Amino acid sequence: MNYTILLHACCAICAGYPIQKLKEEGQTPLVYFTNDNIDTKEEFNRRKEALVKLCRYMEVDYIIDEYNPDLYLDRIKGLECEPERGKRCDECIALRLEKSARFAAKNGINAFTTTLVISPHKNYDRITDIGTEIGRLYNLNYTGINFRKGDGFLKTNKISKELNLYRQNYCGCRFAKNHLKEVTEYGM
């Protein structure tokens, strides 16, 4: 298959509309699930299974990268207490986009992007800056598509609900999960 773009997928919920949009634009995406930030193997597997179900339904090829949480923990060492959307998150995003770019370059795919930008909880501009810089390092085109435009977040949620996909309520890392717990318990 001649893929035109590698789509890093953080989860099935976020991937539905981006896959649809890329296909509507005439792209042939290869979905790449690489998420060493996820706090447990069980959570990783739940998200992986949901993504596989989505990709089969949408008739797109996918690759599931090996789960190696030590890569993430080494990368963010010293940043564990950073607030959400801070330096820890930047490093987490950079790790996943670097792995995606490396995979794309190794497999002759000249462009890559990420589903992370569809979330209203993520900073589109910051992710695009990180992706663009990584693209330069690997001589690839980071395609900064704002999948939120045109009600993308609503559309992706509709797809995930129609397929009854697993729905998580945090990005995946234990630090975000702990922050969510604090907000819930203490009304922060």
For CA atoms 97, 100, 106, 108, the dihedral sign is negative
* Cα 141 to Cα 170: distance, rounded to the nearest angstrom: 29
* Predicted local confidence at residue 6, as pLDDT: 98
d(CA 119, CA 101): 21
Q: Which residues, including other chains, have CB under 8 Å from residue 185's CB and lie 6 or more apart?
A: none
Position 184 confidence tier, pLDDT thresholds 50, 70, 90:
very low
pTM of the entire predicted model:
0.92
41: pLDDT strictly greater than 90: yes
Count of Cβ atoms closer than 10 Å to residue 28 Cβ: 14
How far, in Å, CA of 85 to CA of 122, rounded? Answer: 7
* H-assigned helices in the chain: 12-24, 41-58, 69-75, 87-106, 124-137, 152-162, 174-186
Average pLDDT across the chain, whole number: 92
* pLDDT at site 173: 82
Q: In this predicted structure, what is the pLDDT of residue 73?
A: 96
Confidence at residue 170, expressed as pLDDT on a 0 to 100 scale: 66
Cα radius of gyration (the chain)? 16
